[in-house]
Amino acid sequence: MKVTLNNNEIIIFKGATISEMVLAYSLRSHKMLKNGKLCVYDRFGNLTEPDGPVYEGQLFYLKRAE
Amino acid sequence: MKFNSIILFLVVFTLFSINNQAVAQKNKKSTEIIILHTNDMHSKIDNFGKLAYLADSLRKTHQYVFLVAAGDNFTGNPIVDMYPDKGFPMIELMNKLHFDVTALGNHEYDMGQELQNKRRQQATFPFISCNVDATGAVAKPYEPYVILKAGKIKIPFLGILQLGENGLPDSHPSRLEGLKFTNGIEKVKDFLWLKDKYGILIALSHLGVENDEVLAKTYPQFDLIIGGHSHTTMTKAMMVNNVMIVQTGSGLKNVGITTLHVKKGKITDRSYELVPLASIKKTDPEVQAMIDAYNSNEEMKRVVGFAETDFSSKEELGYLMTDAITARMKVDFAFQNGGGIRISELPKGDILLKDVFRLDPFGNQVVTYTMTYDEVKSLIINSYNRDKSVDLAPSGMIYTIIVNAEGLCTDVEMKDMTGNLLDANKSYTVGLNSYISASYKFNHKDPGTTNFNTTAQTLLDYLGDVKKVNYAGLNRVSVKK
C-alpha cells in the first residue's frame, strides 16, 4: 500500500504500523523516533503513537519532538 | 519526594477543578458529568494504579464520573496476553477500577471468540458494538449501545468497530469465523433514534481518527466521539461539524477527562483535557499490589518447548525462528535478520516462555509475499551487502553467497533443503518479519501482507506443535569467493 510521509510516497506492506512506516522511510529517522527525538503527526496535526496502524492513502509528517 | 508528588498532583487536580467550577458557575443548574476515557490500552497494566487513584479522587469530589474505554484492551504485553487465562489480568483490573463500558476493538478477537466470551463473562462492564452480528458465531451477541445514568439524565454510548479493506476487523481471519460485519459509519443511522429519545449521543468509536472525522461530518447528531484504533494522542479536542472528537494515544500512557454540562436534557458545555498518567505521582496501593503480582508472576517461567541440544549460535536460533514461520504460515521460505535475534545461546533443556520473548522481544509481525526467484535473490544480495556479511537466516532453502574481490555479493546460489537448485522460473511464497519488510531494500512486486500474527507467537505455536527441537551444528548459509 502507499502512504505519504513528509510528502514522500512510501510503499509498505498492508498492516504496517507508524514505526514500520518510518523505518521504510529512513533508518536514521526511525532511530530518532525510538529515542523520542522525532514524532509523527497525522494530517490533522495530531500526535500519532509509533504503534498505531497505517492505512492506504494516509498522510503523515515527521517533526522534531516538542 | 512523596510530599512533592502529592503537591504536584494536588496542583494539577485543583487547576482542573477550578476550571470546571468556573464552568459550573456559568452553567448554573446544569449537571456536570465527567467521562474518564482511555483507548488502545493493549494490555499495558503498569499505569492502572495511577488511573485508579485519579478515578477515585474524582469520584470523591464529583457526583457523576464515568470510566470508559474505546477498545483494544488486549494484545501487546506478554504478562497479560500469555497469562494462563489469556487476557484475564486486564479484565480483573478494569473490574477493580469500575469501568462502565468498553467499545469492542479489533484486537479483542486476538484471543479467539471462545476466550473472548469468557473474558466478557468475567467483566462487570459490557463490550459494545453496533456493527457486529454474532448470530451463528461462537462469540456471544454484542449490545450495540449502553445507557449510562447520571441521576435522571440518560446518556447513550454507541460502540462502533473498525473494518479493513477486506470488510473484517484487523485480526487473523480464522478468529472471525461466523461473524458478520457491516460498515460502522453506515450502521450508525439505525441508532440515531437514541439522540431523539435521550437528547445526547456519544460514540465509543474504534474506527480511528480518519473515520471519526467522517463520522462527525456525516452525523452532527453526535455530541462527542471518544475514539480509538489510530493511537492518536490529542492534546486538544478536534471539532468537526460541531462534534467533539477525542482520543488519548495508546498503552495507557494518558487518560482523557471530558466534562459535559447537561441542562434540560441537552449538553450546554463540553471540555476535554489530556492527562499524562506520568504526571500522577500517587497510585492506588491495592491496584498497585495487583499489578506487581502480575508483573512478578511465574507464568513467564512456563515450559513451552524442549531443546535436545544447546543452541550455540545466533544462526541456529535464527533457523528455529524461520522454521516456525515456514511451518505455521505454510510458506516456501522464511528469513530472519541477525539483528532481530536477541540472544546468541540457549542451553539444552526446557525452553521457557520468557526465553521466547528474550529471543524475539520486538513484537514484529509476520509479513508474507509471493516473490519470483530473482526477487528472492535480490533480498539475499541486498541483505549481505548492507554490512558485507551474512545476515539472513533462512528456512526452506540453503544458500551460498558469491562475493567479488571487494567483498560484495554479486550472486547467490539457492538450493532447496535436499540440495537441488531452485527453479528460476517459479514464484515462491516467502515469510519475513515486519522489520525486514519495512527496512530492507529488495525487489518485490507484491507489497506483502500481514495476518496480524507476531513472530514470537508464531514461534510459540511452532514449539507447541513440535515440542522438541535440535539445531546443533546446523548451517544453511555459506560464502564463496
- Beta carbons of B438 and A27 less than 8 Å apart: no
Phi, psi values for residue A33, rounded to 5°: -65, -45
Residue B449 at interface with chain A, using a CB cutoff of 8 Å? yes
Q: Which H or E run contains B373?
A: helix B373-387
If one counts the domains in chain A, the total is 1
Burial environment of residue B18 by CB neighbours within 10 A (0 to 12, 13 to 18, 19 or more): exposed
Residue B290 at interface with chain A, using a CB cutoff of 8 Å? no
pLDDT tier, A3 (very low <50, low <70, confident <90, very high otherwise): very high
- Give the residue-averaged pLDDT of B422-435: 96
- Give the residue-averaged pLDDT of B47-57: 98
Q: Which CATH number describes the domain made up of B302-480?
A: 3.90.780.10
**In chain B, what are the domain boundaries?**
2-295, 302-480
Of residues A13, A46, A51, nearest to B437 (C-beta): A13
pLDDT for B250 equals 97
pLDDT for B20 equals 56
Q: What is the CATH number of the domain that holds A15?
A: 3.10.20.30
Those residues with Cβ within 8 angstroms of residue B196's Cβ, 6 or more apart along the chain or in another chain = none
Residues 126-185 of B with CB under 8 A from A: 164-165, 170
Of residues B40, B170, B447, nearest to A12 (C-beta): B447
pLDDT for B452 equals 85
What residues of A are in contact with residue B437 (Cβ under 8 Å)?
A: 12-13, 16, 20
Q: Number of Cβ pairs closer than 8 Å across A and B?
A: 92
- Beta carbons of A46 and B365 less than 8 Å apart: no
B2-295 and B302-480 share one CATH topology? no
pLDDT digits (tens, 9 = 90+) for B161-218: 999 888 999 988 888 999 999 999 999 999 999 999 999 999 999 999 999 999 999 9
The shortest C-alpha distance from A10 to chain B (Å) reads 10
Whole-angstrom distance, CA of residue B200 vs CA of residue B262: 9
pLDDT digits (tens, 9 = 90+) for A16-59: 899 989 999 998 999 999 999 999 999 999 999 999 999 999 99
- Which residue out of B230, B254, B272, B370 would a mutagenesis test of the A interface target, given it has the greatest number of A Cβ atoms within 10 Å? B230
For A53, the domain range is 2-64
Reported CATH class of domain B2-295? alpha beta
Model ipTM value: 0.97
pLDDT for B439 equals 84
For the packed helices B48-61 and B285-295, what is the interaxial angle rounded to 10 degrees? 160
